[in-house]
Amino acid sequence: MMMADICNCARGPACGCRGASRRVVVAAFACTAVSLATTRFAAAAPAADADERFMRIALEEARRADFPFGAAIVRDGRLIARGRNLGRTTDDPTAHGEMVAIRRALATRGSKALRGSTLYTTGEPCAMCMGAILWCHFGRLVFAASVEQLATRIDQIMISSADLASKATFAPISITAGVLADEAMALFPERK
Ligand SMILES: [Zn+2]
């Protein structure tokens, strides 16, 4: 398992990350600006075994989906919503696993419940889903397969969640990548 916390800073050399790309693997946030912004969330970050436990719930959803993506939303260590891709079932191209989980959580608990919560998803969120995650003020995002990994198998909008987060300073978020990525990638056949 490869797992990495990602610096989502695009502020240049002054931030201390020396322009490191999102693929740089670090033990903790390398960027001062981001670690300041995320400290209050990082302190409450669950242990790696909890990350795997909740990612397995997202993977369960992905295996039941009409296109293999799944998501789970966790607040204070408890699962509050889950969702899977329903785009083909409902003829709705916006019905990504993350969007389905977010809409379910909003319908049952309201937007306050999402503030500071953690979203687990089997694939790095696309621009639409990451926008929703930021607007909902999630405190933490954990994903399995990255956009670059997914792009070897399926079409992807080639922008990372960290890139998008770096443009939304009003919504600080901690991002953890690569949790059970191999299991998520195994859901997609290789391109021929
Ligand atoms: Zn999406």
pLDDT in tens, 179-191: 999 999 999 988 7
CA 178 to chain centre: 10
**What average pLDDT is seen over the chain?**
83
Asked whether residue 169 carries a pLDDT value surpassing 50, the answer given is yes
Residue of 61, 98, 124, 183 marked catalytic:
98
Give the Å distance between the CA of 40 and the centre of ligand 1: 26
Structure tokens at 118: 């953690």
* Pairing verdict, β 70-75 and 118-123: antiparallel
Asked whether residue 19 carries a pLDDT value surpassing 80, the answer given is no
Give the Å distance between the CA of 69 and the centre of ligand 1: 9
When pLDDT is averaged across residues 133-159 and rounded to a whole number, the result is 97
- pLDDT value of residue 2: 47
pLDDT in tens, 25-65: 322 333 333 333 343 344 445 578 999 999 999 999 999 99
Whether this model's pTM surpasses 0.85: no
Structure tokens at 98: 């993350």
Under 8 Å CB-to-CB from 136, ≥6 apart: which residues? Answer: 102, 106, 111, 114, 115
Give the Å distance between the CA of 144 and the centre of ligand 1: 14
Phi, psi of 115 (to 5 degrees): -60, 120
Residue 156 and residue 149: Cα distance in Å, rounded?
10
Sheet strand arrangement including 140-145? 4-5, 174-177, 140-145, 118-123, 70-75, 78-84
Give the Å distance between the CA of 73 and the centre of ligand 1: 15
Give the Å distance between the CA of 13 and the centre of ligand 1: 31
Annotation marks residue 148 as catalytic: no
Give the Å distance between the CA of 130 and the centre of ligand 1: 7
